[in-house]
Amino acid sequence: MGQEIDMMRLYPKGKSRIGTRPDISEEDRRISKQFGFEYFDGDRRYGYGGFNYHPRFWTDTVALFRDHYRLAENASILDIGCAKGFMLTDFKKLMPKAKLAGIDLSAYAVEHAYPEVKDLIKVGDARHLPFPDKSFDLIIAINTLHNLKRPDCIAALREVQRVTRGSAFVMVDGWHNDAEAAAMREWVLTAETMMHADEWRELFAEAGYTGDYFFWTVS
């Protein structure tokens, strides 16, 4: 597999997320996992509490992706779990000649995608990517694949391997110690697969995934 690298290190860090959402119930999680209005733009207990575009979030991060992976100006890039397309929007601004695509399982997010990239985004399933083999120079999946159960995570990673002809980066919920594990189990809404970082590495190997990766922890 590739290397563990924090490709999100330039993404703005806000205040600690612990305590920013009310205590959540299993019913709250059930609603969140529908990935509809409530998750993106409804009450904070269900998700983002308002999911809106702002250039401060992705501008530096997409430049880091371009530079780290040495992407040509006409590179092809797929964002799996692109939501409303905010990262794709900044890729389009930075690399106007790039061939961009995004998929998300949320029909709500795709319907309300940012206007500049709405025509680049479709509803799709990471386990069955609707693209030919070796279609993309870079595939990105940030905080997305862990929303699948373990066997489906493997299927999705094998699809990433099939569709990339160059590089890939995934970030998933993963912990390194008991404190991180406890915080994640309490705070996370939608993940179906949360594991120790070493267990994720074993899963990557089982899937034959050779791209890069990083682990998101509650902070």
Per-residue pLDDT, averaged over 141-162, amounts to 98
Q: Is the pLDDT of residue 1 over 90?
A: no
Q: Give pLDDT, residue 213.
A: 98
For the chain, domains (ranges, CATH) are: 58-216 (3.40.50.150)
Mean pLDDT (the chain, rounded): 93
**198 pLDDT tier (thresholds 50, 70, 90):** very high
Of 5-9, 19-23, 147-151, 157-161, the one with minimum mean pLDDT is 19-23
> What CA–CA distances, in Å, run from 35 to 17, 30, 103, 125, 178?
20, 10, 14, 13, 29
Per-residue pLDDT, averaged over 153-159, amounts to 98
Hey, which residues does 78 pair with through a beta bridge? 101, 139
Q: Give pLDDT, residue 15.
A: 57
Coil, helix or strand at residue 112: coil
pTM: 0.93
pLDDT digits (tens, 9 = 90+) for 70-104: 999 999 999 999 999 999 999 999 999 999 999 99
Q: Give pLDDT, residue 20.
A: 55
Alpha-carbon span 27 to 14, nearest angstrom: 27
Instruction: Write the secondary structure of 20-38 as one string of H (helix), E (strand) and C (coil).
Output: CCCCCCHHHHHHHCCCCHH
pLDDT digits (tens, 9 = 90+) for 5-55: 999 999 987 655 555 556 788 999 999 999 999 999 999 889 899 999 998
Q: Give pLDDT, residue 204.
A: 98
Residue 22: partners with Cβ closer than 8 Å, 6 or more residues away: 44, 45
DSSP string, 83-97: TTTHHHHHHHHH-TT
